Amino acid sequence: MTTPVIPKLLTDSSKSTITNRPVTKVRPPQGLAPLDFHELWAYRELLYFLVWRDVKVRYKQTAIGVTWAVLQPFITMVVFSIVFGQLMQVSTGETPYPVFAYVALLPWTFFASAISRSGNSLVYDANLISKVYFPRVIIPLAAVLSNLVDFGVAFTILIGMLLLFGIVPSISILTLPFFLLLALMTALAIGLWLSALNVKYRDVNYAIPFLIQVWLFLTPVAYPTTVVQEHWRFLYSLNPMVGVVEGFRWALLGQQNLSWDLMLFSILIVLALFAGGLFYFRRMEFEFADVV
Amino acid sequence: MSEAAIQVRNLGKRYRIGGPREAYGTLRDTISSAAMAPLNWLRNRNLNARLQEFWALRDVSFEVQRGEVLGIIGRNGAGKSTLLKILARVTYPTIGEADVCGRVGSLLEVGTGFHPELTGRENIFLNGAVLGMRKAEIQRKFDEIVDFAEIERFLDTPVKRYSSGMYMRLAFAVAAHLEPEILIVDEVLAVGDAAFQKKCLGKMGNATKDGRTVLFVSHNLLAVENLCNWAIYLEGGKIIKRGEPGEVISAYLRNSLSISTERSWNAKEVEQNTEAVHLQHVRVRPADECDRGSITIHTPFSLEFDYWNSDPTARITVCFSLYNQHDILLFNIGPPVESASKGKPSPNGLLRTICHIPGDFLNDGLHRVELTILRNDVPVINESHALTFNVQDSLQEREDWYGDWPGAIRPNLKWESNLILIPEDQNHSP
């Protein structure tokens, strides 16, 4: 019944070149198709343009523009330093509290804005989804990636702070890209879940700010992990952002020893979340254009 | 050389409507329905009754050869857009399958992905990428696109400050430079002013001349007739008719415009009618019957009214009003003063009154006849929808513009132009 997919080689009379015409097969959804990386690669330019659009649009018609990318983590750092550093006297070892907080705020701000944006991304781009075909994963992926620019801008402040406090990172700073990748994967995993859910349940819209708020308390941004009692540690480290923040502190400040067990555990959790998110996303993908 | 570019086999798409799984579910609904699941299972029948299925498309099969232009016509909600969406892979079929061979470009809307905050220049790139163009390709065609859209001066202005005409022109300009092997187009010609429409259709015409395969949904029947090799007419998700565009369009017009070019009152009605005057038959009759019975703007035709009169002393006057599709009264007319029967009693029996309407007089479109019959100057019969007929446009005068021809009527008048004065300086020159 189905004709085999043989790429047809034809001579185009007008151009007299041999063209290889792709055959697009339109079929009813048949179970779960694995993510087509070839196709994803073919659409890399669209991914690039969507990231570029998000970055361009973000600070259009704002008075201070990209300064916002710095201002958000910076002001949070100042408030944390006053409340936790001064008033509550949270102990951070030999690291000055502002640096301690800012190093964690960098991946945290990235993560928070990435899940917020990617969670709303499919609904925001509903118009694209209902009019043009492309691998849908590109949309939440672009929403996550576009936050890297803000991360980069905010990172420059950290360099200034390290200089100011005379902190010289050790060789472990070379592992930083890995932890950034872990943060990115975490954000993408959550983003896949939230964006696909959001297509069907707009409740996600309202849940996201709340989720971020609760998640912040469960992540050692304002306080060190040592505050958490030993018997709660396992439960606590189910949160992959614990691994990310610990990793950032270790890579940049090299203060305490990094628990590699915890790290491995975080990676596994992220991979599981990611696989689950992708699975759910792919399963819901067929309905997006009809439901969104 | 004939080779299928698009093969569609038994395609169908089902939507669920009205049921509990309405488009926007909330988590609460799902949670509560999960809690209610056992209960619902008990009243299963009730639940299924509420969950209605609706086939937007059913059993659609056709094949388009490479280089052919297929027009798809039908009323709103007939499934035209659903069909295009499935072929463009925006949505999935419920059953059936389709194979599309070649690089596909779909234009289900112009300006998809335009961002109001971005400038014209930026949107050209973004929109191009969304439509599947490579960056290098967009760069190569950039100047051409800007020229086509006529927006050079506003290239670096955010498109939210554009007039809607400029916006549409830019959007169409990008779309028009898409050069896939197979083009899927949904009703995009209805943008811009007449001059721009002309340009767009010219571009479409070129695409078809280049041997591109085009699938084309439109309400603009003239464009379909002129641009397409063949057409299909969808109704209720099914193909009602396929074939030569002119025939398919006629079938569509007959079905969809509630045309009644002939109407009879049956004998029983006529017998029971105790009025002195009653109608038996009315019809529109083209002068040239062989032309499939259709009327074009050039066709002379007549309106025939058959009626019974049982009172030989009464003066009977037939008159009618002709309205166009915008319900504008074109004229109201009765037999002229000098006609033989005017002012005299009508004989009893079956009478026929005919009014001849010349060709090259009415504009194209739907027309309605309101019939009034007066007996001794008192209206005794009034049929507001006595006849409804369509006057089809003719492609001959249209070069490549398919918009509405303005005006209530379209008479063919006599024209002259003569040179009546030669400039004086030319008189003296050798």
Q: Which residue of B has its CA nearest to A6?
A: B101
Per-residue pLDDT tens for A20-78? 678 888 888 877 777 788 889 999 999 999 999 999 998 888 888 888 889 999 999 99
User: Is pLDDT above 70 for B400?
Assistant: no
The better pLDDT of the pair B320, B310 is held by: B320
Q: Do A132 and B97 touch (CB under 8 A)?
A: no
Give chain B positions within 8 Å (CB) of A56.
117-118, 122
Domain boundaries, chain A: 74-291
What's the confidence (pLDDT) of residue B41?
A: 55
pLDDT score, position B145: 93
CB contacts under 8 A, B 6-35 vs A, are 15, 23-28, 30
- Greatest pairwise CA separation for chain A in angstroms: 81
Average pLDDT, stretch A271-291?
91
For residue B115, give the nearest of A23, A53, A134 by CB distance: A53
Helix/strand/coil (H/E/C) assignment for every residue in B377-409? CEEEEEEEEEEEEEEECCCCCCCCCCCCCCCCE
- Structure-block tokens of residue B178: 């898409």
pLDDT value of position B22:
45
Are A241 and A111 within 8 A, CB to CB? yes
Tokens of B397: 């005068």
| C-beta separation of B174 from B165 below 8 A | no
Which residue type, as a one-letter code, is found at position B138? I
At residue B317's C-alpha, the angle toward residues B313 and B322, to 5°, is 165
Give the pLDDT of residue B192: 59
Contact call for B100 and A289, based on CB within 8 A:
no
pLDDT at B372 over 50: yes
pLDDT of residue A242: 93
Whether the predicted pLDDT of B39 surpasses 70:
no
* B136–A contact, CB cutoff 8 A: no
What is the arithmetic mean of pLDDT over B257-262? Answer: 78
- pLDDT one-digit tens code per residue, A157-201: 999 999 999 888 888 899 999 999 999 999 999 999 999 999 989
Q: In which band, very low, low, confident or very high, does the pLDDT at B209 lie, cut at 50, 70 and 90?
A: confident
Contacts of A275 (CB under 8 A, 6+ apart): none
- pLDDT (0 to 100) of residue B18: 58
Contact indicator for B114, B124 with CB cutoff of 8 Å = no
Paired strand residues for B375: B316, B378
φ/ψ (deg, to 5) at B351: -110, 150
pLDDT at B365: 85
Query: Which two structure tokens, joined as six digits, stand for A224?
Result: 């060190």
Specify whether the CB–CB gap between B351 and B341 falls below 8 A. Answer: no
Beta-carbon separation of A24 and B101 below 8 A: yes
Q: Which residue has the higher pLDDT, B326 or A201?
A: A201
Collapsed DSSP state (helix, strand, coil) of residue B349: strand
Q: What are phi and psi of B209, to 5 degrees?
A: -70, -30
CB contact under 8 A, B90 and A26: no
Structure tokens, A214: 């609760």
B162 sits in the region (left: phi over 0; alpha: psi -120 to 50; else beta) called: beta
Name chain A contacts of B181, Cβ cutoff 8 Å.
Answer: 21
- pLDDT category, B20, cuts 50, 70, 90? very low
| Interface contact A15, partner B, CB < 8 A | no
| Cβ-proximal residues to B92 (8 Å cutoff; 6+ apart), any chain | A26, A27, A28, A29, A286, B86
* Domains assigned to chain B: 4-12+58-255 (3.40.50.300), 262-392 (2.70.50.60)
What whole-number distance in Å separates Cα of residue B179 and Cα of residue B5? 15
Contacts A22 to B, Cβ<8 Å = 101-103
- Is A203–B27 a contact, with Cβ atoms under 8 angstroms apart? yes
CA of B31 vs chain A CAs: smallest distance (Å): 12
How far is the C-alpha of B272 from the C-alpha of B336, rounded, in Å? 33
Predicted pLDDT of residue B281 = 92
Residue A21's Cβ-side half-sphere holds a number of Cα atoms within 13 Å equal to 22
Considering only CB atoms, A128 lies closest to which of B85, B100, B112, namely B112
Specify whether the CB–CB gap between B233 and B71 falls below 8 A.
no
> Is the model's pLDDT at B45 over the cut of 60?
no
Mean per-residue pLDDT of chain B: 83
Across A8-17, B78-87, B359-368, least confident range: A8-17
Q: B 264-283 residues with CB below 8 A of A?
A: none
Three-state SS for B50?
A: helix
* Contact across the interface for A60 and B158, Cβ inside 8 Å: yes
Looking from the CA of B389 toward its CB, the CA atoms found within 13 Å total 26
| pLDDT grade for B290, boundaries at 50, 70 and 90 | low
- Which residues of chain B neighbour A133 with C-beta distances below 8 Å? 88-90, 106
For residue B62, give every residue at least 6 positions away whose Cβ sits within 8 Å of its Cβ, in sequence order, or none.
B6, B8, B70, B232, B239, B242
Find the mean pLDDT for residues B189-202: 67
CA distance A31 to chain B (A): 13
Q: What is the dihedral of CA B29, B31, B37, B43, to 10 degrees?
A: -20
Q: Tell me the backbone φ, ψ of residue B216, rounded to 5 degrees.
A: -140, 110
| Separation in Å, CA of A285 to nearest CA in chain B | 10
Residue with the larger pLDDT of the pair A190 and A1: A190
Q: Which chain A residue lies closest to B182 (C-alpha atoms)?
A: A21
Residue type, A67: T
What's the pLDDT at A188?
A: 97
Which residues of chain A are within 8 Å of residue B85 when distances are taken between CB atoms?
A: 130, 289
Tens digit of pLDDT for each residue in A72-116? 999 999 999 999 988 988 888 888 999 999 999 999 999 999 999
State which residue of chain B sits closest to A136, comparing Cα positions.
B90
Q: Is the pLDDT of residue A10 over 70?
A: no
Highest mean pLDDT among A14-18, B49-53, B159-163: B159-163
Nearest residue of A to residue B105, measured between CA atoms? A132
pLDDT, mean of residues B297-314: 89
**Integer Cα distance of A194 and A140 in angstroms:** 9
Residues 6+ apart with CB under 8 A from B273: none
For residue A291, list chain B residues with Cβ-Cβ distance below 8 A. Answer: 23
- B284 with B261: CB under 8 angstroms? yes
Element (H, E) at B316: strand B316-323
pLDDT for residue A8: 36
- CB contact under 8 Å between A22 and B103, yes or no, is yes
**Interchain contact B113–A (C-beta under 8 A):** yes
Residue A275: pLDDT band (50, 70, 90) is: very high
Does B345 contact A at CB distance below 8 Å?
A: no
In this complex, the residue of A8, A48, A201 whose CB is nearest that of residue B27 is A201
Read off the DSSP letter of residue B159: G
**Within an 8 Å CB–CB cutoff, is residue B4 touching chain A?**
no
Half-sphere exposure of B63 (CA within 13 A, CB side): 5
- Give the CA distances from residue B164 to residues A213, B116, B159, B196, in Å, rounded to whole numbers and listed in that order: 42, 12, 9, 13
Predicted ipTM?
Answer: 0.84
Q: Is B214 within 8 Å of B183 (Cβ atoms)?
A: yes
Q: Is B331 helix (H, G, I), strand (E, B) or coil?
A: strand
**pLDDT of res. A13:** 38
pLDDT on residue B38? 58
Looking at beta carbons, which residues of chain A come within 8 Å of B86? Answer: 26
Residue among B25, B98, B101 whose CB faces A21 most closely = B101
First to last CA, chain B: 62
Task: Find, in chain B, the residue whose alpha carbon is nearest to that of A8.
Answer: B101
pLDDT tens-digit readout, B157-190: 999 999 988 888 898 889 888 888 888 888 765 5
Residue A44 sits at the chain B interface (C-beta within 8 Å): no
Q: Once rounded to an integer, what is the mean pLDDT over residues B366-370?
A: 91
Residue A237 has pLDDT above 80, yes or no: yes
User: A11 at the B interface (CB within 8 A)?
Assistant: no
* Cβ contact B93–A25 (<8 Å): no
Residue A9 pLDDT exceeds 50: no
- Average pLDDT value over all residues in chain A: 87
The residue of chain A with its CA nearest to that of B89 is A133
Which residue do the tokens 């061979």 mark?
Answer: B101
- As a whole number of angstroms, the distance between CA B261 and CA B254 comes to 10
Taking each helix axis from N to C terminus, what angle separates A67-80 and A147-165, rounded to the nearest 10 degrees? 50
**Residue-wise pLDDT tens digits, B237-254:** 999 999 998 889 888 887
pLDDT score of B370: 93
- Listed by number, the residues of chain A in 197-236 with a beta carbon closer than 8 Å to a beta carbon of chain B are 200-203
The type of residue at A136 is R
What strand order describes the sheet that includes B349-357? B262-264, B277-286, B301-309, B349-357
Residues of chain B found within 8 Å of residue A26, distances taken between Cβ atoms: 86-87, 89, 92-93, 97-100
Q: Residue A176 half-sphere exposure, CB side, CA atoms within 13 Å? A: 19
Residue B83 has pLDDT above 90, yes or no: yes
Distance from CA of A245 to the nearest CA of B (A): 32
Distance between CA atoms of residues A219 and A211, nearest Å: 12
Residues B220 and B187: their CA atoms lie apart, in Å, by: 8
Give the pLDDT confidence of A70-80 residue by residue, as tens digits.
999 999 999 99
Q: How far apart are CA B226 and CA B212, in angstroms?
A: 16
Q: How confident is the model at residue B73 (pLDDT cuts 50, 70, 90)?
A: very high
pLDDT at B269: 64
Q: For residue A122, which residues of chain B lie inside 8 Å, CB to CB?
A: none
pLDDT at B291: 56
Segment B90-101 shows an average pLDDT of 92
Q: Which of B46-55, B253-262, B359-368, B377-386 has the lowest mean pLDDT?
A: B46-55
**Closest residue in chain B to residue A61, using alpha carbons only:** B117
Q: What is the pLDDT of residue B238?
A: 92
Angle at A115 between CA A230 and CA A267, to 5 degrees: 45
